[in-house]
């Protein structure tokens, strides 16, 4: 299990970072979508510059990779804790990876 660090606040409303998960070096892009009826955080994942999954909502208690046709070696991402807001991301909730 690996916890993936996320940062809260308006200065971090658009985050981009890489993270090694198992044998994969993945690029994460996390964006706060304030224009939605209910503002939310969304996650895009890229491997070797190609999108693996786009627009995954960070919803508390969810296996956020469920429903995506991801390569088996990517594993699963869980978002646990409180519902994400602009100011509590990574504080009251966590993005967790488990291998396949």
DSSP 20: E
Given this model, what pLDDT does residue 69 score?
A: 86
Query: C-alpha dihedral over 74, 10, 38, 88, to 10 degrees?
Result: 70
Q: Pick from 35, 5, 10: which is nearest to 87 by CA?
A: 10
- 14-21 vs 40-47, strand pairing mode: unpaired
Cα 17 to Cα 38, 96, 98: the distances in Å are 25, 15, 19
The pLDDT tens digits for 39-77 are 999 999 999 999 999 999 999 999 999 988 888 899 999
Domain ranges in the chain?
2-98
Q: Global pTM?
A: 0.92
């Amino acid at each position: 299990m690996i916890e993936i660090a996320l940062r809260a606040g308006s200065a971090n409303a658009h985050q981009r970072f890489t993270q090694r998960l198992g044998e994969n070096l993945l690029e994460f892009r996390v964006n706060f979508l304030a224009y939605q009826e209910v503002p939310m955080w969304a996650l895009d994942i890229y491997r070797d510059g190609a999108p693996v999954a786009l627009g995954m909502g960070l919803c508390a208690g969810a296996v956020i990779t469920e429903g995506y046709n991801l390569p088996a070696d990517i594993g699963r991402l869980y978002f646990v804790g409180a519902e994400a807001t602009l100011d509590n991301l990574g504080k009251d909730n966590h993005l967790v990876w488990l291998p396949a």
